[in-house]
Structure 1
Amino acid sequence: MGSLMKSPRGRLPLSIVTVLLCIFAFIALFYTERISSLSISIFKFKSCSKKGTIPKSDERTIEDDPVKEEIDDRFEFDPNECSVAHGKWVFNSSLKPLYTDRTCPYLDRQFSCAKNGRPDSDYRHWEWQPDDCMLPKFNPKVALQKIRGKRLMFVGDSLQRNQWESFVCLVEFVVPKDQKSMRMGRSHSVFQVKEYNATIEFYWAPFLVESNSDNPIIGDPKKRILKVDSVSKHAKFWEGVDILAFNTYVWWMSGPKMKSLWGSFANGEEGSEELETPVAYKIALKTWANWIDSTIDTNKTRVFFTTMSPTHTRSEDWNRKDGIRCYNETKPVMKKGHWGTGSNKKMMSVVASVVEKMKVPVTFINITQISEYRIDGHASVYNELGGKLLTEEQRADPAHYADCIHWYEKQKPRVFPSSLLSVGKELH
């Protein structure tokens, strides 16, 4: 398939389906002894100059910049210098997975593409190659060593649960059966690695603040009420954790307004008022930020925040006027800097405005732009509804049943995905 189809000699590209990108930021820091304190825009990613070279113009498409085996002036990965957000998705048919949805027992069936009947497989073979640097190989034993004696917790919605599942699958296969265990809970789930005295955990809090839809989930967004001034019910599970990774976005995008209240849920809807969604979002994030600033010991705990995971529900965004959402998409968007309507910059700016005023350093794991390209990586019609796989009749109606929010689970890269963390260097 030409030069874009092979991994160039000496290059170590990032191979990863979009939903899994953000988990790698944590491991990146494990390979660096400190977190750099850099303030960056989460919208404008300026590519760091390759050592001894002049920065390239951003006005080009991925196809305009083919890989050339004889030229590779990228430097070894350095989170202080490498801009991972600048790069391209490159096809490589020779990738070998570290795990698949058939080999890892901890993946949610809802997003297990091969098990659910997806006929194509090219989506497994796209690699992310940063312009500036080469990426070290991933080593699950090294990753486990870095979290020895520690608790790593993913906090947020179902997208964050996918990150947790993926991280577990990245490392679990090198752990003997008698040295690992999984405890699944409605809100709090824990994967324990006894040999390393470490846990990899997930805590369900889709809004971060408390809501009447945490558990059980209320399907009708109009009936959901947010307690925007409190995280205490959730936060008691966050205390004492060494590495905290938060996200919250998709659940906020159900309408222009959100029912919000202060104090008790006892009065129900009568005690709430409708706020513009960005306003409610900001109040909630300030509540979360206040808890972080007043509780977190920076000598013990690192805090991450995953930026919004794009949705691909409008095929016109990538010039497919005859398309049906993300259905039947088999290749990434190739246009550099593509940005669709499924990523709300106003909401993204709310996160930035809150985090920049915090005392505790928060590392942005910014997967938004990288993920924007991957219109081919969603669950689409190969998913479950109500715990059951879609019927053939439902699959024939992608306008109603294609899931263009969640992502396929897939194998992890043969390279160490330390990149992500330069996408979200330290923000403070």
Structure 2
Amino acid sequence: MAKIKNAVVFSLPEHYFSWGTTNASSLLPFLFALFFVVLLVISLSYDKVDYLLLPAATLFDVHQPAVSAPVLLSAETTTTTSVDDDQYCDLFSGRWVLDNVTRPLYSGRRCTYMHDEVACEKYGRTDLKHQLWRWQPHACNIPRFDAERMLRKLSGKRMVYVGDSLNRNQWVSMVCMLESALSTDTKSMTFDGSLMSFKAKEFNASIDFYWSPLLVESNCDDPVHHRLSDRIMRANSIQTHAKQWADADILVFNSYLWWKKPGMKMKVLYGSFEDEKQNLEEFEMVEGFEMALKEWSNWLESNRNLNAQVFFVSLSPTHVWGDEWGAASTQNCYNETEPIHKEGYASRGSDYKMMHIVEDTVAQLSQKGVHVQILNITQLSEYRKDGHPSIYRRYWVNLTDQELAKPNSYADCTHWCVPGVPDAWNELLYTYIISQQK
């Protein structure tokens, strides 16, 4: 399989192309040789998109070239995609292509285990174009998602998504992508507190979600009652959660959303939540985030013998300020039906400092022999202002008359409709999983 990495483009210095003092005739043999090499490459790979890409210096570069208009695929033009062998492939640099042939990957209406907060079609969304966009990397193709192949890869294994509601959003997407390939009597779902577990019985596979929005123990750990005015994390306390995922073969972590509450501080508890007198210290949210990542990193390092394939999903962007894409400043994702086509677009709500903290943590783990793959979904999701539930979801509290009179006041511009954007996240995850040799 291909070596899947981020990419950076190198260019030759200008003087390499200067003819000022160069004898042109002396270059003719070189030019003829170059012509035949190019001709040979084209003849060997005329049916592929073969570009040599090198590892990037950074994972979160938002400076990209301009993108052309979207292309609508038809049955005559679409092809089965694959990552070309022996090439470096930057899966995260690309564009959204409107594909009315292979999208959506499943029916949201028919998904047995759909969650109401992301079931946009069920809750009245009639414009379903957001389901038809496919992520297309610039320099290569990715494998078309094959549910049976994924299930075979997961045979006898346990895959666990660990994190907040956005990670649950991605998990719901994966469950819907897989369960469509299974008969009713070969699949099941169980709920046990913070743990939700989807079973593919025929393959002895388990695809689970574990609610742990701060990764470490916190007062936000109740999967239902977690909307609190103060957020408290317990220092040095990842073990309680970790025992729920320690036996996993594939781990997919995320943790950003709960660290981004404007104006809120994170309180760190030294001791137990049951202590009558609590020892608390207050930190900036980003400092608490660093502390949690340190605990997570220490756990991975001390449990490196688990031999699990580990991923960390990057920040999922929001679309709450319409002026960023040329709409009114009072507008948000409500009524948006098209992606942003300006490549390199980045919202001011995406905290790249936080993502660099993750990048540094992962790099330090790598130096210690622990490999974590960052699934960089941030840039590709930045373009998708059309992909959020907006008002088309179940709300767990009654909306006021004032809110109902102004729909964009309660539009959900944080989570994502499924089918939709999280399917692309899972296709990238799928690419990494099937590329693993063992």
Structure-2-length-normalised TM-score: 0.77
- Which residue of structure 2 aligns with residue 339 of structure 1? 346
Give runs of aligned pairs for residues 383-422 of structure 1, distance below 5 A. 383-386=393-396, 394-410=403-419, 417-418=427-428
SS in 2 for 1:62: coil
Deviation at 1:321, TM superposition (A): 2.6
Maintained 8 Å contact 1:47/1:86: no
The CA distance in 1 between the partners of 2:327 and 2:277, in whole Å, is 42
CA distance in 1, matches of 2:243, 2:302: 13
Map 1:1-150 onto structure 2 (within 5 A). Answer: 32=1, 46=8, 51=50, 60-63=65-68, 76-78=83-85, 81-150=88-157
Bigger radius of gyration among the two = 2
- Give the 3-state SS of the residue equivalent to 1:261 in structure 2: strand
1:154 partner SS: strand
Give SS of 1:165's match: helix
Counterpart contact for 1:48–1:82, Cα < 8 Å: no
Flag the 1:100–1:295 CA change in 2: closer, same or farther, 3 A: same
Structure 2: segments with no counterpart, 5+ residues: 12-48, 55-62
Equivalent position to 2:285, from 277, 289, 303: 277
Please name the residue that 2:17 is paired with: none
CA distance in structure 2 between the partners assigned to 1:35 and 1:297 by the alignment: 24
Contact kept, 8 Å, 2:9 with 2:53, in 1: the verdict is: no
Q: How far apart, CA to CA, are the structure 1 residues paired with 2:258 and 2:325?
A: 24
Q: What root-mean-square deviation, in Å, do the aligned CA atoms of Structure 1 and Structure 2 show?
A: 3.3
Structure 1 stretches of 4+ with a deviation exceeding 4 A read: 47-50, 52-55, 64-70, 267-270, 390-393, 411-414, 418-422
Q: How far did residue 228 of structure 1 move?
A: 3.3
Secondary structure of residue in 1 paired with 2:331: coil
Q: 1:349 to 1:52 in 2, by over 3 A?
A: closer
Is the 8 Å Cα contact of residues 192 and 200 (structure 1) preserved in structure 2?
yes
Contact 1:48–1:81 (8 Å) recurs in 2: no
Greater RCO (CA < 8 Å, at least 6 residues apart) = 1
1:150 partner amino acid: K
Q: 1:141 to 1:271 in 2, by over 3 A?
A: same
Q: For residues 385 and 269 of structure 1, what CA distance do their matches in structure 2 show?
A: 37
SS class of match (1:111):
coil
CA contact (8 A) 1:365 1:420 kept: no
Q: How do 1:251-262 residues align onto structure 2 when only pairs under 5 Å count?
A: 251-256=258-263, 257-262=265-270
The alpha-carbon distance between structure 1 residues 193 and 51, as it changes in their structure 2 partners (threshold 3 A), is closer
**Which residue of the partner structure matches residue 391 of structure 2?**
381
Assess, with a 3 A threshold, how the Cα gap between structure 1 residues 135 and 103 changes in structure 2: closer, same or farther.
same
The CA distance in 2 between the partners of 1:421 and 1:48, in whole Å, is 26
Output aligned runs, 1:144-159, within 5 Å.
Answer: 144-159=151-166
- Identical-pair percentage: 38
Q: How does 1:277-356 map to 2 (within 5 A)?
A: 277-297=285-305, 300-356=307-363
TM-score by length of 1: 0.79
Which of 177, 197, 213 lines up with 1:190 in the alignment?
Answer: 197
Distance 1:375 1:271 in 2: 43
- What is the CA–CA distance in structure 2 between the aligned matches of 1:48 and 1:107, rounded to whole Å? 45
- Counterparts of 1:413 and 1:218 in 2: how far apart (Å)? 27
CA 313–65 in structure 1, closer or farther in 2 if over 3 Å, else same: closer
Code of the residue aligned with 1:382 in structure 2: it is Y
Following the alignment from structure 2 to structure 1, what is the Cα–Cα distance between the partners of residues 340 and 384? 7
Q: For 1:371, which of 381, 395, 404 is the aligned residue?
A: 381
Distance 1:271 1:297 in 2: 35
1:258 shift after superposition: 1.1
Q: Give, in angstroms, the shift of residue 267 of structure 1.
A: 5.0
**Distance in 1 separating the partners of 2:210 and 2:410:** 27
Query: Tell me, which stretches of 5 or more residues in structure 1 are unaligned?
Result: 1-31
